[in-house]
Structure 1
């Protein structure tokens, strides 16, 4: 069973692996907070979820995230990666796994020749690339009235939001582990680097249970890996 301690260990190891590849520019290592006998959170001490509630342009939100150091990993191109988990009685209750690309590539604009010589940056420097943030959110909790927050299709337990669209909640079959999330990000947005460094990353086979509602299986959804035990 995946516990807060195991998730903490995964994030710590994966952060170290990314640093070794040279893809990481800055980082905050994870911590575990215990709020009661029932609740534990894994994240970094700088998290401030109020940032996501503000109605501000993406560039301003990104700059605030950088200023407050609200990230686990800052990639070499400025993209921010966040991983936050909440467990209740050793069972996952929620997570926020986010990828926020830099609104511009100032770091490359200042020294373009240096980066153009290294093929691992080819995906990042492609002029056709459009910066689009994404989040994998999971919420299996209840509101103040004791009613489940999730609802079939309207608010899936696990879902993917693309581009900060308020009502974009693409159903995902389960919660994601840190390993699944980081592999998804690096494979899709840093593919050349992934091809070169995939062997540098520790592999984790543990995964969370499926949480899709029946109605969500009948529409387009994202299926997370299921490993044979």
Structure 2
């Protein structure tokens, strides 16, 4: 069965941003996206995605990170150990769900494992010489019937850390390209490297899903790209 256009576009978007990060040297390991057919539902996932259920339990962050890292449950591992997961589900052309997560490393990899990098790699030093308090960041979308509750459970929302009821409204679902830019621009900016400028062009956008009540609150807005077509039926 031939996959619909929207899942293919998202798969290609993930492939392109992953390749771009590899070329710049900020990504040091990856699992390229795969497309799975589950009846009429198409999933854009990665090898190791079956282990994300680890993140649903109440587990100390350092142990959670170690499990995801050891099982290579990520699309992208960044140079300092930060893990990025990108997962989408479609019903034909219509987006059902997405889960876009960033897990910073709670500890830098041991010096003995990366001695040469610490000593000679300027990029590595730029990235790791930072004081950060690591916590997971996740953009979720769920367009399934009966899930959305106005204000309390926005269709598209941002969760910070492991706060169960933290759901900051987001104006629309997010493409892989926008999510990667969000992470790189806000957590990996350095004085000497322009990682964002090297990312591939935007391939599309999702239509707005925010309600009037949610928009009246503090919320995040995904920039509209009027010159390109909407993806996934909104």
What is the TM-score with the length of structure 2 in the denominator? Answer: 0.87
Per-residue displacement from partner, 1:64-114 (whole Å, max 9, x unpaired)?
111221100011100100000000121111000000001101245853983
**Aligned residue among 142, 154, 170 for 1:172:** 170
Q: Mark the CA change 1:26 to 1:123 in structure 2 (over 3 Å): closer, same or farther.
A: closer
Equivalent in the alignment of 1:57: 60
Equivalent in the alignment of 1:39: 41
Conserved 8 A contact 1:157-1:212:
yes
Instruction: Tell me the distance in 2 between the aligned counterparts of 1:157 and 1:115.
Output: 46
Q: Mark the CA change 1:108 to 1:164 in structure 2 (over 3 Å): closer, same or farther.
A: farther
Conserved 8 A contact 1:2-1:207:
no
Instruction: Tell me the distance in 1 between the aligned counterparts of 2:107 and 2:170.
Output: 30
What pairs with 1:143-162 in structure 2 (closer than 5 Å)? 148-162=146-160
Conserved 8 A contact 1:108-1:115:
no
Instruction: Tell me the distance in 1 between the aligned counterparts of 2:49 and 2:219.
Output: 29
Deviation at 1:199, TM superposition (A): 3.3
Deviation at 1:25, TM superposition (A): 1.4
* 2:210 is aligned with 1:208: no
Instruction: Tell me the distance in 1 between the aligned counterparts of 2:94 and 2:192.
Output: 31
What pairs with 1:19-168 in structure 2 (closer than 5 Å)? 19-36=22-39, 38-48=40-50, 49-107=52-110, 111=115, 114=118, 118=122, 121-127=125-131, 129-142=132-145, 148-168=146-166
Deviation at 1:115, TM superposition (A): 5.9
Instruction: Tell me the distance in 2 between the aligned counterparts of 1:88 and 1:115.
Output: 50
Size of the alignment, in residue pairs?
222
Equivalent in the alignment of 1:145: none
Conserved 8 A contact 1:2-1:206:
no
Note the residue ranges of structure 2 that are not aligned, 5 or more in a row.
Answer: 228-234
Per-residue displacement from partner, 1:148-186 (whole Å, max 9, x unpaired)?
201111110000000111010000000000000001100
Q: Mark the CA change 1:214 to 1:112 in structure 2 (over 3 Å): closer, same or farther.
A: farther
Q: Mark the CA change 1:23 to 1:4 in structure 2 (over 3 Å): closer, same or farther.
A: same
Instruction: Tell me the distance in 2 between the aligned counterparts of 1:2 and 1:187.
Output: 29
Deviation at 1:122, TM superposition (A): 3.0
What is the TM-score with the length of structure 1 in the denominator? Answer: 0.89
Note the residue ranges of structure 1 that are not aligned, 5 or more in a row.
Answer: 143-147
